[in-house]
Structure 1
């Protein structure tokens, strides 16, 4: 994208907009406050902003948050999306809110959204933005795991599953796997939602009962069935497909996952880099980008991959045609890490005392980090909180960067964060550690 100044915004739950209506859903337990957290994750886009860019967020950013970012070398121009003035305000995307009251001073900006949504095209026209993005129909098609699974089969890669389009087909395909555990995926699931590891006949009966009930009411069944892989490492490749079909390589990040949910990204160890180079991984991912371009897609792409314990490579597990946590993690590395240091992105889920406000929680957190010498300053090592409105009681989530010179310093910084969060609320229930 060649525009000199960009608007950055986004809805991190884009897959919900891409998912066709009428599809049966897998049984799931929703995380309390999960929607509120997802709505505030657009704050992570600050690390992608250049000096002339404008970040538009769904929630107001406290001055303290902007100051902490500036102290680490991330100067930010931002504004909050205007309220739509409707009863549905809390459920509207930033794009939809801007459409309700299109600002008149954005003409001439380019647009770099987290993902292309159904309303993105209308927003471009309403605000006079200078951007060519793929059609949402293209994005919806290539974001489906059904599409990526077909591509895996066409390329002859390991990791292809089968697509079940009825409950009887699902039962047959799980049985034919012949493995102790089967993984069933919604074609538009993301970040732990819409993925189930089925390890017993009883669990399978529960899943099929829920699905059959929906099918009896007219819902369509479309699910990807895969074996449960004995994975040694999860990682992702970040590329950009240009409008003329050129594939630009950004890099690879090792992913930390907990029960299919994202828990962090960090640099890839040298041994894994060498293994991937020997396997021609970059060339395989370039082939994925070429296939996306042939479908009419252009823009950011994240390809999830894994290395199995037997040494086998599954190069294409999922394809995400959007900005990703891996791309954000790479941006952190390039902006915050200096000679002899590395940067990683980490996540902690925590319970917070009530009543409280995000400003109070964030202020207390950064004060404790500063007192302990752990708050990141430009050119140094330390910890940098990257979100603020995700810290809403009673259950919040903190996304933060860890910049360290060594694994030992990384470990000590993580201990500092744990102690700080313990003082703010109570010990987090989910922790992401460097190895």
Structure 2
């Protein structure tokens, strides 16, 4: 077995497994459609795979999807995880399914998971994999916004919030902010889930009432309270903390968000890159990596940051000790963008016509793009759908790469994507455009 061969797999809702039981939850509408989309996002990990790597996904991938990625130069080996048994929970993660029916031919592979879960250590042992991940309790601790907020205070950085551990504390801290809008965050929330912007006393009262009802049933309160920042730019730094505590720098990506939901990543503008270099941003992020190493963490890290409209920098807004969309976007840039071109990752949430299936939607979309000469091939600009399983009607999500030689070509390619989706009868709900 080659030492370079890796298994990649992952559960993109890792924060759910890290979240301690017994914590009160913020009011939210949970969508079964959203859960199905998240379950299929492991297809994005193909971008990180080398040709000898094995990507194990939660569902069988359509041959057409494998072919489209191969045409762009992304051609790892693929395998679906063993199916859940008749008497087992159909929502088992890939890791749990592998543990329930461990394949006998994985010994000697390295393991590069999306995130370290409670099952990761057992999976390594049972399947004979090569990996030395951090303890899951360490990952759980440093993934908490409570921990990262404490680090921000220790480092003396702008952007520290306060942690409320009771409903009265929450009410007092929001009032003390004195701003028109306060942001309340679950310590293990992600990508807009578990975050509420409170802009009125009535709304705050509703949140408090729902939380108090859970407290009365025995739940504990742990919430981060921050002001609602007037942001000019969202961006993230991608690093890797090695087993020896060394900090390896991957890069920075500009993030596009709709409210608190992620809609894309792209290269940062030169002016922002210069601004960050002058502010010592990279050194600050290295300090974050050192703090994570001191806690016992090793692995990929994404640090979310922002630039405010008044010119102030909030260097550490959140810390994600796992693979991130920013890291996937950087991998796209390095794999697909040649001289004179750039690559970005974009996301559209869609209402798709029924009846259909995700594979049929993918096939129709890629056929239309190919007919228009816009489907990306290796060494050429174009559009590359990066997932198929997330396109399940009625409400799906399209993740795709845009590789272009100019901002104008980027804009035209995005228009082509919109026209292709219109031909399929979709209704857009959220769109990430080029600037």
With structure 2 as the length reference, what TM-score do the two structures score?
A: 0.99
8 Å contact 1:348–1:399 — kept in the other structure? yes
> 1:44, CA displacement in angstroms?
0.1
Alignment of 1:209-358 (within 5 A): 209-358=209-358
Aligned partners of 1:5 and 1:109 also within 8 Å: yes
Partner of 2:140: helix, strand, or coil?
Answer: helix
Q: Which residue of 2 aligns with 1:126?
A: 126
Matches of 1:89 and 1:370, distance apart in 2 = 39
What is aligned with 2:407? 407
1:10 aligns to what? 10
1:89 Cα deviation (Å)? 4.2
The 5 A counterparts of 1:70-89 are: 70-89=70-89
**2: CA distance, partners of 1:59 / 1:424:** 24
- Partner of 1:73, secondary structure, is coil
Instruction: Write the distance in 2 (CA, Å) between the matches of 1:395 and 1:175.
Output: 38
Deviations 1:321-378 (A, max 9, x none): 0000000000000000000000000001111111111221111000000011110010
2:25 matches 1:25? yes
For residues 388 and 43 of structure 1, what CA distance do their matches in structure 2 show?
8
**Alpha-carbon displacement from aligned partner over 1:44-101 (angstroms, at most 9, x marks no partner):** 0000001111000001101100000011111120000011314444310000000011
Other structure's SS at 2:125 match: helix
Q: Is the 8 A contact 1:197 1:228 kept in 2?
A: yes
Secondary structure at 1:245 match in 2: coil
| Counterpart in the other structure of 2:46 | 46
- Helix, strand or coil for the counterpart of 2:90? helix
Contact 1:66 1:76 survives alignment (8 Å)? no
The CA RMSD measured in Å over matched residues stands at 0.9
> SS of the residue aligned with 1:153?
helix
The match for 1:380 is: 380
Q: Is the 8 A contact 1:418 1:427 kept in 2?
A: no
TM-score by length of 1: 0.99
Partner of 1:420: 420
How far apart, in 1, do the equivalents of 2:143 and 2:100 lie?
27
Deviation at 1:423, TM superposition (A): 1.3
Structure 2 alignment gaps of length 5 or more:
none
Aligned positions, number: 434
Q: Distance in 1 between matches of 2:265 and 2:409?
A: 17
Runs of 4+ in 1 over 4 A off after TM superposition: none
| Alpha-carbon distance in 2 for matches of 1:359, 1:160 | 45
Query: Partner residue of 1:195?
Result: 195
